[in-house]
Amino acid sequence: MSKSNPSIIALIPARSGSKRVPGKNIHPLAGHPLIAYTICAARQSGIFSSVFVSTDSEEYAEISRQYGAEVPFLRPAEISGDFSLDIEWVDFTLHKLKEMGRAYDCFSILRPTSPFRLPTTIQRAWKEFLAEEGVDSLRAVEKCKEHPGKMWIVRGRRMMPLLPLGPKEQPLAQHAVSGIARSLFAECQSGDRMVACGVQRKDDCRRSGHAVLYGGLRRLRCKPSLRLGTGGASHRKRRGATAEG
């Protein structure tokens, strides 16, 4: 990987088989399909060599291309199910691109279900990632409202602590350090090592192993300041106001 000017691509996952919200990735939002906001934010950030959408649907692929993303191939059905892991489609996509002679140093996963992500958020994440030494991944997170040490899980008619902490390890309410949960605004990794990572929601940037800890993400406005253009005009006309995928 070039240390001075590494290349990076955007990977936008958009499978078509959602059970909870059918067609969610192309669900209309303010006149555009949901995925359009992530594609346009990625393109307007100016940091990506290419913006790719990973989907198993030709309809999703067509819509994505209308908004400027590349869909050089479809994702196989066997890695597009409800229980398919990110590592499966990411590994498949990177290997297929490499076979096409399109290898890159880093990639960023940008999920369509965060439509209010701004180009500047992506730029800040990339800047923080490049500024750190000895890291290979970055993830945005947000604070949990409740400490995980105070949470329980229910199985049938029984419940048990989420974390197996003894009495001396249980956090006191007044001293509890807030836990963190992943946010889907941005995830960046170098292409040669795909690892899970966490990011602490602070105003600075710190290290934990090989993960760069990045925070300071602000609550975004309800309306994204994106230039969506008219790329989806034919899509809107064809689909009308329906919400199904």
Please compute the mean of the pLDDT values over residues 143-154 and round it to a whole number: 81
**Residue 21 region, left (φ>0) first, then alpha (ψ -120 to 50), else beta?**
beta
Q: Report how far apart the first and last C-alpha atoms of the chain are (Å, whole number).
A: 39
Q: Which range among 14-28, 176-190, 196-210, 226-240 has the greatest average pLDDT?
A: 14-28
Q: CA-CA distances (angstroms) from residue 219 to 38, 42, 83, 139?
A: 17, 18, 30, 16
Find the DSSP H helices in the chain: 34-45, 58-66, 86-99, 119-131, 233-239
Cα–Cα distance, 130 to 188 (Å, whole number): 10
Are 32 and 89 within 8 A, CB to CB?
Answer: no
Segment 34-49, tens digit of pLDDT:
999 999 999 999 999 9
Segment 176-217, tens digit of pLDDT:
555 555 554 556 666 544 333 322 222 233 333 344 444 433
In order of their start, the domains of the chain are 8-144+179-215+224-238 (3.90.550.10)
Per-residue pLDDT at 169: 67
Per-residue pLDDT at 138: 87
Q: CA-CA distances (angstroms) from residue 35 to 64, 204, 222?
A: 7, 30, 16
Position 139 confidence tier, pLDDT thresholds 50, 70, 90: confident
The amino acid sitting at 94 is L
Q: Is 207 helix (H, G, I), strand (E, B) or coil?
A: strand
Position 240 confidence tier, pLDDT thresholds 50, 70, 90: very low
Pairing between strand 51-54 and 8-13? parallel
Per-residue pLDDT at 181: 57
Average pLDDT, the chain: 76
Per-residue pLDDT at 136: 85
Q: Is 162 helix (H, G, I), strand (E, B) or coil?
A: coil
